[in-house]
Amino acid sequence: MALMSGIDGPESPAVRKRRVVRILRQLDRDYPQAECALRHSSAWELLAATILSAQCTDQRVNQVTPDLFAAYPSVEALAGARVEHLEELVRTTGFFRNKAKSLKGCAQRIVDHYGGQVPSRMEQLLTLPGVARKTANVVTGTWFGKATGVVVDTHVQRISQRLGLTEEKDPKKIERDLMKLLPRTRWVPYSHQIIHHGRRVCKARRPQCDACGLAELCPSASQER
């Protein structure tokens, strides 16, 4: 992968490493308290909210989950829910039929195979309906505090590309690039910080490069100005 500095041509591994260190320091300064934006009080609530967040904003999910968890306050309760009722509760998150089916199937498997407790291991989480690697990374990193990978949502994908940390377009390949570049201790906080940065500054259509603390470290900043 030949990452570009945007000005001086190909970036050597040593220069890239120093730039990554500076990016992480700036993110710490700008977003010292960044955390998962999905409101939750248990591993199950986080898992369910993350399933609902596919192709949907966290803000919308946070508007939907209070009623969902009030109606079904435990994984056992949701496992016994009627899919039609779940569909009504999650309708505004989009793709509501698939999401309702995934939520019920996920809850049923957790009850049947894991004693009603959300598993903490990546390979176990990936056996749950509606759970792919991104969702599993959210749960292992945010709830269980285990850095199993890097959450690659649309913000992380877009901004990591703009920062020249990856040239890949497939989320799995982007995650592999980031896992090689970032210290393992930063896999979880990097995603939280970048997501906040994407919402506040580095927006998809109109990135605010003049107000960005990462501008001097970003190959794309001069192109956007």
Rounded to whole angstroms, the Cα distance separating 189 from 211 reads: 22
Structure tokens belonging to residue 208: 């605010």
Structure tokens at 50: 């993350």
Known active-site residue 134: yes
Q: Which residue of the set 58, 99, 134, 177 is catalytic?
A: 134
| Polymer length of the chain | 225
Among candidate residues 31, 60, 6, the one with its CA nearest the CA of residue 221: 6
**Dihedral (C-alpha) 131, 135, 140, 144: value to the nearest 10 degrees?**
-100
Token duo for residue 176? 């592999």
153 is catalytic: yes
Residue type, 87: E
Which is the catalytic residue, given 101, 153, 173, 203? 153
Active site residues: 134, 153
